[in-house]
């Protein structure tokens, strides 16, 4: 199979309680006015890229549980290419409850242990496919990450990686060593400061782009900072409407940026504009990919912003 981009990361089943009068407190019950169930994690990037017209391969791993079935069916309905996906006859439950409130959100997550062959499945999928680019959802064990990177390099592909919050951030020096192995590193502002061991986003960008070719720091309403070969580009965020839910906006941004930079061959600035459009539209709905734009919508927004 030939792909523009192969995305490596797990699915999540997201349930999002919204429209609450106040944030929950211990010992009290409150009622939300809406409940949304949708796909999370790498589903967001895969579905968003597919809406933009990219040919995306997602070697997802699904179990026989209802959460796996739900996201598998949702991805299929979105047109995501699941020929590389693996479905096994045992549960693999990855569930997050998100509670957005006043522009922020809290999470409660349950995850079954990763299958022993998860990374081998990803490795096998890369070995039997043709692709321009690999996008990795976040840090993992060094031996697993380096094995995936070696196969991608052998295929002549470029590589991007998000950061994702997790225990790996307790070893920022190790994170920097691993991030320098990819072409594009895409943390959010908080993650960038932790990984770079600096006090502010600008200093983090300066330090990270000394060892990584392209650094893309997502900073919410402040837009995005992109560093490449000593040059810094700031792309302001777009005002797409009321912020309803920020869950998964960074994953949606990744789709827009990668569509521009990898599929279209656009400049870093234009790719940042695409990313901000996708991330900005994402937060106007509940769920990361719910309001992700189509290609036509992306072009309309881009024309408005650059005219």
pLDDT digits (tens), the chain, 307 positions: 799 999 999 999 999 998 888 888 899 999 999 999 999 999 999 999 999 999 999 999 999 999 999 999 999 999 999 999 999 999 999 999 988 887 777 889 999 999 999 999 999 999 999 999 999 999 999 999 999 999 999 999 999 999 988 889 999 999 999 999 999 999 999 999 999 999 999 999 999 999 999 999 999 999 999 999 999 999 999 999 888 888 899 999 999 999 999 999 999 999 999 999 999 999 999 899 999 999 999 999 999 988 7
Helices (H), 243-293: 249-258, 268-282
12 falls within a domain: yes
- The domain spanning residue 130 has which CATH number? 3.40.1190.20
265 falls within a domain: no
213 falls within a domain: yes
Query: How many domains, the chain?
Result: 1
297 falls within a domain: no
pLDDT given at position 272: 98
pLDDT given at position 301: 96
* Angle subtended by helix axes 42-52 and 66-78, to nearest 10: 20
44 falls within a domain: yes
Quote the pTM value. 0.95
pLDDT given at position 140: 94
pLDDT given at position 247: 85
pLDDT given at position 105: 77
296 falls within a domain: no
Domain that holds residue 84: 2-22+31-218
pLDDT given at position 185: 98
306 falls within a domain: no
């Amino acid at each position: 199979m030939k792909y523009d981009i192969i995305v490596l990361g797990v699915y999540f089943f997201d349930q999002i309680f919204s429209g609450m009068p106040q944030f929950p407190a211990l010992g009290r019950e409150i009622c939300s006015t809406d409940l949304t169930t949708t796909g999370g994690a790498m589903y967001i990037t895969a579905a968003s890229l597919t809406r933009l017209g990219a040919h995306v391969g997602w070697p997802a791993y699904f179990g026989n549980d209802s959460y796996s079935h739900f996201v598998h069916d949702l991805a299929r309905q979105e047109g995501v290419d699941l020929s590389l996906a693996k479905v096994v006859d045992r549960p693999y439950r990855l569930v997050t409850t998100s509670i957005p409130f006043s522009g922020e959100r809290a999470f409660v997550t349950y995850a079954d242990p990763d299958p022993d062959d998860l990374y081998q499945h990803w490795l096998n999928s890369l070995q039997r496919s043709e692709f321009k680019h690999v996008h990795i959802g976040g840090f993992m064990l060094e031996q697993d990450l380096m094995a995936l990177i070696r196969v991608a390099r052998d295929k002549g592909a470029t590589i991007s990686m998000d950061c994702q919050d997790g225990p790996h951030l307790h070893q920022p020096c190790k994170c920097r060593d691993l991030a320098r192995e990819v072409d594009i590193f895409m943390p959010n502002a908080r993650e960038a400061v932790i990984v770079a061991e600096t006090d502010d986003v600008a200093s983090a960008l300066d330090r990270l782009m000394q060892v990584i070719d392209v650094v893309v720091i997502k900073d919410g309403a402040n837009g995005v900072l992109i560093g490449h070969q000593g040059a810094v580009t700031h792309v302001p965020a777009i005002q797409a409407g009321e912020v309803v839910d920020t869950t998964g906006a960074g994953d949606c941004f990744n789709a827009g940026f990668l569509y521009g930079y990898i599929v279209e061959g656009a400049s870093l600035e234009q790719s940042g504009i695409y990313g901000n459009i996708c991330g900005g539209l994402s937060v106007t709905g509940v769920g990361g990919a719910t309001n992700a734009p189509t290609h036509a919508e992306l072009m309309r927004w881009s024309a408005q912003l650059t005219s």
